[in-house]
Chains A and B, each alone.
Chain A
């Protein structure tokens, strides 16, 4: 009995000692804070627009779990696709999504950034809120959902005003594939991916 109780106490203590090394909301917040600062540093640096876009695109690809998101938003049509279609789809989806968000990042104009409401949503997944605010303009809150990826994290959803990127795109892509076929979707993605990115000021 004494032996069993000792083992139990040891395991309980081990959990307390080991737990901080696992992912936690604090680690997520630190990771997101670092990303935000790196992004702002690039935007505010004395580089050309093309150089900034390239760096932001690279950062976006490292942060966003594009292969997973791409498979998710295609839904059941992914399983029915051929290997060639899957390869083309992921290639152009990557370009399409990266172009959208790289351009969006350049719209940052010095707003105050606050990272709040970071919490676990189960199974190594977390949610956090990044709020951009400035005087006389209504604040913009963006929620990010992330999951643990080794010792780091990957974003798998972006939510603005309760509208989720992956839910919306899944509905959109499903509509296109069911009406016009997967090849048409791939064509549309290719067209968007190859369009030059326009920086808005």
Chain B
């Protein structure tokens, strides 16, 4: 437990240090570009052989209404994380949105399958993660990084992803009573999330690959713009 705390503190300190080294203009700050490009190229190959075909298969087999239901369940499962982060950002409206959506969609939405809150009460999904919370607290994004398999991120958001695992309902339940069932559900949820996310990105990524003269730079810029929009709570479907 103490080792875990030391690791978290070290990661936090590193994040702040690297963020502090970033120039005032954060956009496209990429001191690790040569390494990132190698990882990006690796991810492109992996995507071409595995993730893209799986996503196309998913789109072909499951009709839009089914995919929407899967997406709704995944979003409902993330609402507790949204609630915690909106609270940490001192955003009572955002916290209420996440809480309301969770309660309404879990019940009236039949376990989250239908977005009752969005379609009938116009309470729209508002993603909040710890990376955004750190941004609201004044932490700069730091260096752009490309994570193997997972794709674009930055130091702040990468740390945020780790922190969010502590508020994820399945992980919280797992802390109090780990079981094979919880572990299996967690793996299934991760797999389905990745598949659903990749399917949503099929068309935009096709466009980028066909039209961009430097897909690496395009993804980097698009990621930065989307994250900025999320921090400012501008509505976005969060391509990343």
Stretch from A40-48, A60-68, A163-171 at the B interface: A163-171
Contacts of A168 in B (CB 8 A): 218, 221-222, 225
A176 is an interface residue with CB less than 8 A from chain B: yes
Contacts of B91 in A (CB 8 A): none
Q: Within the complex, which residue of B64, B204, B220, B234 is in contact with A171, where a contact is CB–CB below 8 Å?
A: B220
Beta-carbon contacts under 8 Å, A161-199 to B: 161-164, 167-168, 171-176, 185, 188-189, 192
| Chain A interface mostly | helix
B123 is an interface residue with CB less than 8 A from chain A: no
Chain B: residues with Cβ within 8 Å of the partner, total of 26
Contacts of A138 in B (CB 8 A): 64, 68, 237
Contacts of A185 in B (CB 8 A): 213
Looking at B64, B217, B228, which has the most chain A CB atoms within 10 Å of its CB?
B217
B178 is an interface residue with CB less than 8 A from chain A: no
* Separation of A2 and B222 alpha carbons in the complex (Å): 60
Evaluate contact between A172 and B214: CB separation under 8 angstroms.
Answer: yes
Chain A 130-161, CB-CB to B under 8 Å as 1, else 0, gives 00000011100000000000000000000011
Q: Within the complex, which residue of A100, A160, A162, A171 is in contact with B217, where a contact is CB–CB below 8 Å?
A: A171
Evaluate contact between B229 and A162: CB separation under 8 angstroms.
Answer: yes
* CB<8 Å pairs between A and B, sample of 8: A138-B64, A138-B68, A163-B222, A168-B221, A171-B221, A172-B217, A172-B218, A176-B213
Chain A residues close to B by CB (< 8 Å): 100, 104, 136-138, 160-164, 167-168, 171-176, 185, 188-189, 192
